[in-house]
Amino acid sequence: MENAPKHLRANPEPNAGGTYQYRRYGRWLKRAAWVLAIYLFAAWLFMGLSPAQSLSDPQAVISQLRPFMLQALILVFFILIQFVALFWFLARGNDYVIYPNEYDTSFDDVRGQPAAVESTKEVLRVFEGFKDFKQMGGYPPHGILFEGPPGTGKTLMAKAIAGASGVPFLFSTGSGFAAMFMGIGNMKVRRLFKKARVMSDKYGGSVIFIDEIDAVGSRGGVTTDRWGSSDSSADRIIMGAGMGGGGGMGVINELLVQMDGFTVPRGLWRHVRRIAFRAKPKVPFYNILVIGATNRALTLDPALVRPGRFDKKIHVGLPDYEGREDIARYYLAKVRHEPIDYKKLSRMTVGYSPAMIKNIVNESLLLALQDGRDALRWDDLWQAKLIEEIGLKEPVKYPEVERISVATHESAHAVASYTLERAERQIQVITIQKREGTLGLVHGQPVEEFHGTTQKQIIARIQVFLAGLVAEEIWFGNVSNGATSDLANATSIAAAYVGLHGMGKSVLSVAPMVNPLEDSVAAVVLKDRDRRAEVNALLSDCKEKVRNVLLKKRHVVEGVRDALLEREELIGDEIEILMAELGEREPIEVPVTGNGDRAAGFAPEGNGQAGDGNGQTPRRPDAPPRP
């Protein structure tokens, strides 16, 4: 206590109390002086009285000032009401409350994501039994962050939680916290969490879902995300998509505080207990689960995604083979359809998200209705897939010379791909019909889900891109600008081959030198004279190799070209049948329809069951049998 202030010592000096009282009276005297000065100024302003006249008869002066004071109070009150109403209106937010049993979506509706569904169910079980979990010494999870590509089912997962949690579900969007005035976004966040706390007290828990949380949870400007633990050269620099400036940062900070900050006792009863009963205030516990969904998790503030705020980060990625088959069965069971080969449909939708599979089912149903049928069939699904990937056909007529040139160009691409990539890639369509920005194209898809690419596969891809240009040289002795995009793609792949993958003469990678906001890998590689020469040599070598392939397969290129000039588009099994006729593969059995006619090349070997139109959906593979 030696260093404590005098007024806190156990034995203060004799004049300590007098000094404290003097300071206290001095503060009151200052306040009285301010009141007197305001009184004298008002009497002079409104009545023209001097200070002596004002002090001689204060009662009469105050009675005459009363109307002015009343008007001033009304004006101040009106201004305050305007500001309060304005800020109340702006801070209302756009959150919506879904009460228990109002949503019929369940986890059975989330298909193709078994690992993500199971992880979410585990968190939900802990959330529902948080009291038992706390008694065991655990700390209930604060939040779940769903991150992954668009259309993979992040929002659908949140809908399933809304249907299964049994507590109020508060839905909001990241962009909903944006406001014209600084501080309004903070008020929206506080009101959202205040409403969630009220719901938690009433129902035993509540869930907050913020969709597209990167709109509010990203630090404005540039966010740096580090690949490694300590290597500063392995940073990823990503443009943040937050609300920008100080306003956005304030909203982020408010979100951080509300998710894991001080929880203080509130209400009048705590003061009664503290004063009357001398009871210790009890800090309340609110069972609130915060769910965020984003396509750009790398732009989020690191403080937001740390444990204690978003404890569980669940990646909702693209479905695998079994997942796509399950998704296809689920959506096709809702519509009328003829027998469908689900496994074949799963193989031809590699890289598709659940939303894309749902869209091609819906698009194929529209095609069936346009054709006057009440059930979709396999060729509807195929056409819907082509529309999804390469766009609608455009009725454009080419001059005959240009038709032949485009057909030869695309035939060379197809033959090169069929010869060099048959084990990895299946050609699905060859067309000389205009679709979007292309006069013709060869569209293919991986035979299996490969997660890496070998040196041989990269070389083959470069040769396929150069095949059209080489074919124009062989057949016409002249090159058109139709090979511009092919050459650009081949150059980019060759630059990555040399400077990124370590497959060239040097194993030095340019990845640490690439600024994704300014440069590309190809731009950085081509700035180096030696590597530019190496890329050119690689392209020249691939060009000569694919020239030999096309000269050897000259009759095949001309056969595909003639078929394109006759039919304009070859799809699916039509390509395989043509290649068998040209001797490029063993003969295949052509499907025959019920009336004995040869079926179209895209006719499926259906083994599905037609929908009955009642919307009954199949069970999940891991679900128990229905009673």
Catalytic residues: 410
Exposure pattern of 236-246 as b/e (b: 16+ CB <10 Å)? eebebbbbeee
Calculate the CA dihedral of residues 297, 299, 301, 304 and round it to 10 degrees: -20
Q: To which residue do tokens 């050269």 refer?
A: 233
Residues β-bridged to residue 310: none
**Is the CB of residue 574 less than 8 Å from the CB of residue 565?**
no
Pairing of the two strands 235-239 and 288-294 = unpaired
- According to DSSP, the residues that pair with 312 across neighbouring strands are 144
Distance, CA of 143 to CA of 22 (rounded, Å): 55
DSSP designation for 399: P
**Strand (E) or helix (H) holding 43:** helix 16-47
Dist CA 291 CA 142 (whole Å):
9
Q: What is the DSSP letter of 2?
A: T
The answer to whether 204 and 167 are in contact (CB under 8 A) is yes
Nearest to 467 by CA among 550, 384, 377, 572: 550
Query: Phi/psi at 410 (nearest 5 deg)?
Result: -70, -35
H/E stretch holding 431: strand 425-431
How many whole angstroms separate alpha carbon 172 and alpha carbon 162?
Answer: 13
d(CA 413, CA 469): 9
DSSP 63-103: HHHHHHHHHHHHHHHHHHHHHHHHHHHHTT---EEE-TTS-
> Cα-flanking dihedrals φ and ψ of residue 293, to 5°?
-135, 135
Report yes or no: 175 and 243 within 8 Å, Cβ to Cβ.
Answer: no
Q: Phi and psi of 187, rounded to 5°?
A: -65, -35
Contact 195, 170 (CB under 8 A): yes
Question: What three-state secondary structure class fits 508?
Answer: coil
Closest CA to 577 of 595, 560, 596: 560
Report DSSP state, residue 621.
Answer: T
Buried b (16+ CB within 10 A) or exposed e, 429-438: bbbbbbbeeb
Please give the distance of CA 522 from its chain centroid, rounded to a whole number: 27
Cβ-contact 390, 429 below 8 angstroms: yes
Is residue 116 helix, strand or coil?
helix
DSSP letter at 41? H
Cα 94 to Cα 108: distance, rounded to the nearest angstrom: 29
